[in-house]
Amino acid sequence: MRLDDHRVVITAAGRDFGRALAIRLAEKGAEVFLSARRLEAAERVRDEIRGKGHQRVHAFACDLTDPVSIREFASGVGRRTSRVDLLVNNGSRWLEGPDLLSATDDDVVDTLASGATGTVLTVKNFLPLLLNSDKPDIVTMVSACGAAGHDRSDAHDAFYAAKSAQAGFTEILSKRLRPQGVRVISLYPPDFDNGDPLSEQWDATPRRSDGTLTAHSLVECVLFAVTQPRDCFIKSFHFEQA
């Protein structure tokens, strides 16, 4: 599962799963272009990765609610590389609260913009670089909230709406980009244990059938999908919720 010839873009990689994925893909040899809403957060993860001896990592600011910021992120990556082999749409604001009235209008707009509009515009702006690759993949962290009929999360209705939009977008994108050789892979995890890949617990945490899904296992799902031969189009990963 080496990725030495891969150039990878990851949104919202300043913390949690995006950070874990950036660290693990860099360990596998990939050149990583990571973003966070605040540049300092992206730079912190970049420095963590470089501190482990992996120098091919670059940090950018990208606010997924701002079209100009997304375009500038894509342009910045384009100035450093002529292609992107893997784009990971990890960014989406979490909004809690099963009561529709519990969130402000601004919270609703921000949640929908980051998860729905932000995902569409990120793919749109990075697509030219992806099409320059001979192994282009798009991975989107959707969430079980984007699966039809799911109602077991305490997420706000606006979060459900954003994730449903992501699911619809990736569904049609998978069909329309396949003729160009682009694989579109969506993950629909329930709530999961977001462990630190730089801690001893990352490898020591038991991953049993009666336990909570871990970020470690989700990273391995991504690695499995993108390292398959190019005739293998894995469209989505769905998970049982414990």
In this prediction, residue 49 carries a pLDDT of: 98
Chunked mean pLDDT (size 10), the chain, 242 residues: 95 97 98 98 98 97 98 98 98 94 97 98 98 98 96 95 98 98 98 93 90 95 97 96 76
**Distance from chain centroid for Cα 69:** 17
Q: Which CATH class is domain 7-238?
A: alpha beta
Q: Which residue ranges make up each domain of the chain?
A: 7-238
Look up the pTM and report it: 0.97
In this prediction, residue 155 carries a pLDDT of: 96
In this prediction, residue 241 carries a pLDDT of: 80
In this prediction, residue 98 carries a pLDDT of: 86
Q: What is the 3-state secondary structure (H, E, C) of the chain?
A: CCCCCCEEEECCCCCHHHHHHHHHHHHCCCEEEEEECCHHHHHHHHHHHHHCCCCCEEEEECCCCCHHHHHHHHHHHHCCCCCCCEEEECCCCCCECCCHHHCCHHHHHHHHHHHHHHHHHHHHHHHHHHCCCCCCEEEEECCHHHCCCCCCCCECHHHHHHHHHHHHHHHHHHHHHHHHCCEEEEEECCCCECCCCCCCHHHHCCCCCCCCCEHHHHHHHHHHHHCCCCCCCCCEEECCCC
